[in-house]
Amino acid sequence: MKSNYIYRLVNICIVIFVFLSSCSKMNDLHDKYLQRGETLYVGKPDSVKVLAGRERIKIRFWSSDPKAVKLAVYWLSRSDSAIFDIPPHLAKDSVEIIIPNLPESNYSFELVTMNKDFKNRSVTFQASGSSFGDRFQASLTNRVVQSSRRRLYPNYLETKWFGAIEKAIGCEFAYVNTLGVSVKKFVPITETTTLITNLVGGVNYRTLFLPTASAIDTFYTAFIPVPIDVLTEEQMNKSLFLKWNPTGIPYTELSATYTITKLWDNLTTTWYTQNTTPFPYSFTFDMGKIVKLRRFMQWQQLTLTVLYRTLNVKKFQLWGSDTPNVSNSFVGWVKLGDFVSVKPSGLPLGQESAADIAYATAGENFTVDPNAPPVRYIRYVVTECWGGLQTGVTVSEMTFFEYFF
């Protein structure tokens, strides 16, 4: 009995010793962390944007924790890094840093903010982006010029473009202007026609690209000459022509069948006919745009009983104006030329040879005074008809050609 009592007492003492020993170790571990002090974390960046550049990257970030005064950036699986100061700023404002010397590639970045002593850090913020370089540069090509032509004056150049190119933002023209000044002119990629009005000599151009919409660096193709067309003329678009008459020059069309619009309907089987008062007699129309005329073609009414007879025009003048503010007086009008229709055979009135008919059928060509300025509004003045009568005027078709310089 006594022996059992002693045994239980020994077991109780062992349990008490083990418990006291365990408490001592726990207190030692707690004391060690208390001696280190409480761990304070710095707030990580609130938001981050990575902007592409030429072998560099810009990181734009927002950080609202005032304790965050340093930023560590790691990339290439933390084999490379850089530390930046975070300047004082409002919480709503962004901070930007540049990481240079980044060969063209895709990158994953880890951003960690720290306090001024580098003792307290944030959790990692991960972001990704790309740099661009020689590979992207080698893929670039110039926007293609559809046509480039000098219009109106020698120092005007009208350039028409084919469609936009992916990632291109525009083109840049480089030329010398009429004042002798070197000019660089930006042309947005959305522009389909570009007009230079003060050009001396030729012009070079290049195309500008952004690899991404938010990229910080622009890439350029090499400058090349704009291929300027060497054509001297272009047929005008007759769909622009309009019926137009100023004060004092009314229309006296024979009927709706013979309206002045027959002059530009591209048919020599229809014709414009007017009843007239004594010569000189004028009719007018609008070509739809201001052009410098080089020449025009004209067809008589080709009906054999009328050809080189009666109402067909033999002698006439052409006048022009760049403004509709004109009248039946010749003030404001510029003479474009005096013209005479030709009958190749020279046969008397009422007789026509096969050559005469062929010549009239092909249309007669008339050259406008090269010193005449650009015009839009035409005044046609009849001074004589083939038949000598002044009872009417008929013209089948007219086609105008504008200058390329």
List Cβ neighbours of 358 (8 Å cut-off, separation of 6 or more). Answer: none
Cis omega (within 30 of 0) for bond into 225: no
Q: How confident is the model at residue 117 (pLDDT cuts 50, 70, 90)?
A: confident
CA-based torsion, 253, 255, 256, 257: positive or negative: negative
Provide the pLDDT for residue 38: 55
Sketch the domain layout of the chain as residue ranges: 47-134, 140-229, 238-403
Provide the pLDDT for residue 242: 97
Provide the pLDDT for residue 2: 47
Q: Does residue 307 contact residue 300 with C-beta atoms inside 8 Å?
A: yes
Query: What average pLDDT does range 1-20 have in this prediction?
Result: 50
On the 0-12 / 13-18 / 19+ scale of CB atoms within 10 A, 322 is: middle
CATH among 3.40.50.880, 3.40.50.720, 2.60.40.10, 3.10.150.10 for 140-229: 2.60.40.10
Q: How confident is the model at residue 25 (pLDDT cuts 50, 70, 90)?
A: very low
Q: Which CATH code is given to the segment(s) 47-134? A: 2.60.40.10
Cα three-residue angle 389-262-250, rounded to 5 degrees: 60
Q: Do 47-134 and 140-229 share a fold?
A: yes
Query: What average pLDDT does range 40-59 have in this prediction?
Result: 94
Please say if the pLDDT value at position 259 is more than 60: yes
The whole-angstrom separation of Cα 363 and Cα 265 is 15
The whole-angstrom separation of Cα 386 and Cα 307 is 9
238-403 fold = Jelly Rolls (2.60.120)
Q: Which helix (H) or strand (E) holds 169?
A: strand 168-177
Instruction: Report CA 84 to chain centroid distance, whole Å.
Output: 41
Q: How confident is the model at residue 22 (pLDDT cuts 50, 70, 90)?
A: very low
Q: Does residue 397 contact residue 235 with C-beta atoms inside 8 Å?
A: no
Q: Does residue 392 contact residue 252 with C-beta atoms inside 8 Å?
A: no
Please say if the pLDDT value at position 7 is more than 80: no
Q: How confident is the model at residue 380 (pLDDT cuts 50, 70, 90)?
A: very high
Q: Which helix (H) or strand (E) holds 361?
A: helix 354-362
Query: What average pLDDT does range 50-62 have in this prediction?
Result: 97
Q: Which helix (H) or strand (E) holds 134?
A: helix 134-138
Please say if the pLDDT value at position 219 is more than 50: yes
